[in-house]
Structure 1
């Protein structure tokens, strides 16, 4: 059986369902329709559609259906049980294609024990047919939409919406994993760490997003080490200094003013909404089709916080690229988004070493990580652009799960049909979109608290906190020199340098050059 394309609308009295029936010979006698409470079922071989609504429908003489040959569709009108009742999320077609009785987070008993033993999710419940014949993402009463699972330890964590946001995103103090028969044979990565041994074919096809050596064989801590080394090597002191001086003294030579003045559509939507009301995010037919194509699975989530961290990083990367192009994408957008997102380019969902004893806030770690990467990889490397991008991320989060889903669906499009990058849809983006869509997945209250926690950390992180480890050569380090004089033995030293230091050296160099020009004139 095939799931047809469809759309749903409503007024005060009726639900209107339009089902597209292409390339078949319509026969009224083969059509079957049924209403049972909130459930609507349609069948016309080879098509089958089952929709579950947020409120109950009524099966009476007011219900009608009409086949429209010119449009190759059947239009159905079903009365609401209670006139004037508003049905939610009718444009989230993946949510309507839902089944009862799915496991949400798989229960939390034993999750901490599995983490301590170094194992990930041992079982994932997949719908009986992981095809597009039936839905597979129904709500669970014990979901995590309003809070996060308990941390490891004897005391359960207060749900996020009931606890101060400043305490909700602390780094767990978990001992290094102990080898166990329950540990996976190969390192895992991707959404919920449920994939392994999937990157090699893409590497053979020149996967230029990947930053890791032998990514299928690296453990999480090793990925972090390689990521940090690559960031330090990729940061170009002269490149950043030139961008800084150009933006400050000759902004007409680049587009930085226009880029910074560009207004995110999510900010416009948020500013245009009434206080206390949800932001009105609408999905077009193309986006609805993309949601229909998502895999319908249920997941066992031990700890949903790493998924939220992935959402932040991906939203930042997408927002950085879109702002850099003033609302448009280009052929390089997939590369930029992938490079900036550590969960994609470095398969790094942990972000900080397991033996960390200094950092306390994961949000701060994310902010520093994303700022380092956005000053090392993209074409435009400007600190004001970095801060402006965080503002864009804040407004996407404030638009709730619908806003987040819309942005990540858009980011996913740059990977979906790419000959090489599509692998990141398979291991991360498809599942992430599906999880956000679920009732027991991404929660509006969590996103709101996360937005406020993120804004606070962004304000506290400054240029002195963005540090790179570089090789500076002897007496040339005052000028930031990186190249030794030919034939000379120069002592190499690894030194830490922050953005303030770089900008001070750039200013000194600029003033010296200006002084020489004045003397020559």
Structure 2
């Protein structure tokens, strides 16, 4: 017999069952319904449902058949008008048979009833009770350790050694206890953490900021739910927030419904493992902006310690720490902001109820089915989660989301000294910025200094060219200075032989006098009688220039010293100075046997 595709909808008074049977004969079908039971048969299709509410046969029921679509539509009146039937989209749970009276199912149903009674508690402590480790406890442990959903599996990886390394990170899980898995996981994460990668994503986070702005489908659904919180029957409108595609409904129909015998500790592990898997899924959806790729399967199972290390968590805080550490160690984008945003996404999914959680689990199931080695994780975890979550109470998930929202996670909890790394990196950045700024200022000062030096050199070159008329090469400077002295001596000799009025070098019968310093380019025209003060000032300037030129070279300075000594020894005082009778000033004429030099003593008539 084939289980047909079906769908259930409701209004305040009727429950509608839509059954797709394209190869059945419309004239040959049977429908039976009473209380919570519904049965449909049309060869080769058979459908049996256990409804979440009671229906009644009172003459208002109606059935129709669409030959083009091959669907039966059956409307059944509710026993209590206005009653809301919860979980009509949980198709796998609807396929559950009625309670059996046999011995084995009786034990399973009693366990299930005990679990449901536990679910009814409003207050729930998510912290698992822990006991001290005892050395002699090892002898009482089983030879093979358990793992999987509710720790119901063991010995699976003994026959899957080839696929083991591609699916999980723990080696030999059947012989590795849970506490040792945790220690090895923490050591592997500590060895994998890369501070450079983390700091690169921390400072250059343009891509990550773009990813953080992405809005998955549950964001809009959550906004709609919050907007309708004040309205009546808002908890009944889950289907308006979360809808399943035909492909997802087909997945649900393929699951085999079963009950799970879980004790309190196993239920805690199941809920905490669910949070861990949802966090990894939220990260994957956000960083890829809803698109799937070849790395999607790897991302989900790598970020979830439940899937990758078969971890059994004891608290929500431990789940968050594990997820945060793995986000900062393994994927491409390693940013703490992605961890916080994934937690926020998981809270919204849990607040939307089990329909939203189931939709995420179905997507994970599909991703793993398309990855060759990851299908093993479907058999170990995801398929059982898809079946189990359909029987979970909505208020239980609401309490779980509240506990998740209240649990704080900071960078100091991660254990990689993230705050210290960031502070050190900021200091290094500040120092580099200051050094760069100082280098820029120094470069500007250097350029300014070079510019000033260049201008000074050009000015000095021009001045030297105008006053000396000599080359700038240093080896020729000594010869140039000797030529200047000889030229000055020739000028003195010429002025002695020329017709003079006095020793100033002023010619008779002329108004001007030319004073030469051996350089034809440097000639000064002076007024002879009209401006005596300017003549003295110009002569002083020329003499200062000559003195500076003499000081520039060591040879000239030595010659000047020798000349002064000769003057003091061989020239008498009256010969040194001849008084100017014209009233323009006094000139000192110092004769020398070898190198006569003209010196100027500019004194005014009123000075002694």
Residue 379 of structure 1, CA deviation: 0.8
Residue pairs, 1:95-494, within 5 angstroms: 95-101=93-99, 141-144=113-116, 147=119, 159=121, 161-162=122-123, 168-176=125-133, 184-200=142-158, 203-205=161-163, 207-247=165-205, 251=206, 255-273=207-225, 274-275=228-229, 277-278=234-235, 279=238, 280-303=241-264, 304-350=267-313, 362-438=315-391, 442-458=392-408, 461-468=409-416
* Higher RCO (CA < 8 A, seq sep 6+): 1
Residue 511 of structure 1, CA deviation: 3.2
How far residue 139 of structure 1 moved from its aligned partner, in angstroms, is: 11
Offset of residue 311 of structure 1: 1.1
- Structure 1 pair 217/374, CA: closer, same or farther in 2 (3 Å)? same
CA 1:180–1:73 in 2, change beyond 3 Å: closer, same or farther? Answer: farther
Question: What is the CA deviation profile of residues 259-314 of structure 1, one whole-angstrom value per residue up to 9, with x for unaligned ones?
Answer: 12223432332232222632543323222222222231111111211111011101
Q: CA RMSD of the aligned region, Å?
A: 3.0
Q: Return the alpha-carbon distance in structure 1 between the equivalents of residues 146 and 72 of structure 2.
A: 45
The alpha carbon displacement at 1:70 in A equals 2.3
Q: Secondary structure at the match of 1:91?
A: coil
- Show CA shifts across 1:172-196 (max 9, x none): 1224487699854411100011112
Structure 1 unmatched runs, 5+:
107-122, 128-136, 149-158, 352-361, 469-497
- In the other structure, the counterpart of 1:2 is 2
**Structure 1 contact 5–19 (Cα < 8 Å) conserved:** yes
| Distance change (3 Å), C-alpha of 1:124 and 1:376 | farther
Q: 1:9 to 1:466 in 2, by over 3 A?
A: same
TM-aligned CA distance change 1:462 to 1:11, over 3 Å: closer
Of 13-22 and 218-227, deviating more is 13-22
Change in Cα spacing, 1:408 to 1:102, as seen in structure 2 (3 Å) is farther
Partners of 2:117 and 2:437 in 1: how far apart? 64
Output the CA distance in 2 between the equivalents of 1:89 and 1:171: 29
Partner Cα distance (2:336, 2:118) in 1? 34
In structure 2, distance between residues paired with 1:32 and 1:321: 47
Aligned CA distance change for structure 1 residues 228 and 66 (closer, same or farther; 3 Å): same
Under a length normalisation based on structure 2, what TM-score does the superposition of the two structures give?
0.64
Say if 1:102 and 1:139, in contact at 8 Å, map to a contact too.
Answer: no
Aligned-pair CA distance for 1:238: 0.8
1:26 maps to which residue?
A: 25
SS at match of 1:290: helix
For residues 326 and 356 of structure 2, the distance between their equivalents in structure 1, rounded to whole angstroms, comes to 24
Q: Aligned residues, how many? A: 427
Would you identify which runs of 4 or more consecutive aligned residues in structure 1 move more than 6 Å? 123-127
SS at match of 1:143: helix
Instruction: Select the structure that is richer in helix.
Output: 2
2:65 is aligned to 67
The answer on whether the counterparts of 2:92 and 2:256 sit within 8 Å (CA) in structure 1 is: no
Q: 1:225 to 1:386 in 2, by over 3 A?
A: same
Judged with a 3 Å threshold, the aligned counterparts in structure 2 of structure 1 residues 12 and 454 are, in CA distance, closer, same or farther, namely closer
* Distance change in 2, residues 1:206/1:363 (3 Å): closer
Bigger Rg over Cα: 2
Mapped partners of 2:350, 2:298: distance in 1: 23
1:171–1:64 CA distance, 2 compared to 1 (3 A): closer
1:487 match:
none
CA 69–200 in structure 1, closer or farther in 2 if over 3 Å, else same: farther
Q: Per the alignment, in what secondary structure is the counterpart of residue 270 of structure 2?
A: helix
Deviations 1:74-113 (A, max 9, x none): 232323334443332222211221223279xx9xxxxxxx
The verdict on how the C-alpha distance between 1:329 and 1:517 changes in structure 2, with shifts beyond 3 A counting, is farther
| Cα distance, 1:56–1:456 mapped onto 2, change above 3 Å | closer
| Alignment deviations for residues 413-463 of structure 1 (CA, whole Å, 9 cap, x no partner) | 21123211000000111111111111xxx33223222222222222xx321
Once the two structures are superposed, residues 33-65 of structure 1 have per-residue CA deviations (whole angstroms, 9 ceiling, x without a partner) of 111112111122332111122222222444333
Query: CA separation in 1, counterparts of 2:256 and 2:179?
Result: 30
Please report the TM-score for the alignment, with normalisation by the length of structure 1.
Answer: 0.75
